């Protein structure tokens, strides 16, 4: 049994395994859903290996991912931290945003049932809703906390104004946004804000939606239902250009006797002590590889070497198609 280290998400005192598990890909986003028993096996294996932080959302599926997670962790529910999210109309990520107080409450009740539990450990707003003042969102979650239904409040892909306004009403435990060696946008503004306010950071896609593992190249064909088909960064030309990034990480990983994915995760962990990445996978051997990243220590020299290599690479292509990019960073 490998010993997993724990980290605290900001000043909240919420202690979680240094690497969590993003469960989305088991049900949604990257091609056909994993067969349920396989998904349960993977989640339970993560727990055996020391993971106590599991990330879901009503929108993953919709709904099937929370049901899978609830069933998988039932026998050890009290030893894990379950995170889920509200904020889309009818739980459908393509149907527009809805963070009205009524919807937040309805989602909380429905999520509790699907997760087979009496409290949500970390409840995120999935995307900022420009039609609902963030103060009302925070106030509604505060009420759910008073009722014992929610333990911690989070935001996802929010900008610094929203973070400050929400935090003034109800302390935020964590911000969840995309962050990796090829998407470093949170560094200049978001990180100092989180540090100042004592908020933890939970990066999703720390492996660049799979790209930084080295398993995707110019010839990779994604399943027709795979989200990456519409991501500009993954189109043919950009994929070729971005291969330099993977080559650099691969070269560095060889020196460290590690895999590219492990270096990419170790790099994220090395940035701040309050960062907890949540890589996802559908394969147990990948899960086991990813979790070993926590035992890799990158020295200052290593980090400087990675930094100088990367400062010369221009990543090609946006991380979202235009209509989805409009939803982030408010």
**Catalytic residue set:** 60
Q: Which residues of 261-270 are buried (b: 16+ CB within 10 A; e: fewer)?
A: bbbbbbbbbb
Q: How many beta carbons lie within 10 A of that of residue 113, not counting itself?
A: 11
* Dist CA 22 CA 27 (whole Å): 11
SS3 260: helix
User: To which H or E segment does residue 316 belong?
Assistant: none
CB distance 114 to 63 below 8 Å: yes
Tokens of 323: 């209509």
CB distance 92 to 59 below 8 Å: yes
Task: Give the ranges where 74-188 is alpha helix by DSSP (H).
Answer: 101-114, 134-146, 160-169
């Amino acid at each position: 049994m490998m010993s997993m280290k724990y980290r605290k998400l900001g000043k909240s005192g919420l202690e979680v395994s240094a690497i969590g598990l993003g469960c989305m890909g088991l049900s949604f986003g990257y091609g056909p859903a994993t067969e349920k028993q396989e998904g349960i096996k993977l989640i339970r294996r993560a727990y055996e290996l020391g993971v106590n932080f599991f990330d879901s959302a009503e929108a993953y599926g919709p709904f099937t991912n929370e049901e899978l997670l609830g069933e998988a962790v039932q026998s050890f529910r009290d030893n894990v931290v379950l995170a889920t999210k509200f904020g889309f109309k009818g739980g459908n990520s393509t149907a527009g945003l809805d963070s009205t107080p009524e919807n937040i409450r309805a989602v909380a009740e429905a999520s509790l049932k699907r997760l087979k539990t009496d409290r949500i450990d970390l409840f995120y707003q999935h995307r900022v809703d420009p039609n609902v003042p963030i103060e009302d969102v925070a106030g509604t979650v505060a009420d759910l906390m008073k009722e014992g239904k929610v333990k911690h409040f989070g935001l996802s892909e929010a900008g610094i104004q929203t973070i400050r306004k929400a935090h003034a009403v109800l302390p935020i435990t964590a911000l969840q946004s995309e962050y990796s060696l090829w998407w470093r946008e949170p560094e200049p503004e978001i990180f100092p804000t989180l540090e100042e306010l004592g908020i933890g950071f939970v990066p999703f896609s720390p492996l660049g939606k799979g790209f930084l593992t080295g398993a995707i190249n110019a010839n990779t064909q994604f399943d027709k239902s795979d989200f990456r088909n519409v991501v500009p960064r993954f189109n043919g030309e950009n994929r070729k250009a971005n291969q330099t990034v993977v080559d650099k990480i691969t070269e560095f990983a060889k020196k460290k006797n590690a895999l590219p994915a492990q270096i990419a995760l170790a790099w994220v962990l090395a940035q701040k002590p309050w960062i907890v990445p949540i890589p996802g996978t559908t394969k147990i051997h990948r899960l086991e590889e990813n979790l070993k990243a926590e035992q890799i220590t990158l020295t200052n020299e290593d980090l400087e070497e990675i930094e100088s290599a990367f400062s010369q690479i221009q990543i090609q292509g946006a991380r979202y198609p235009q209509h989805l990019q409009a939803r982030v960073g408010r």
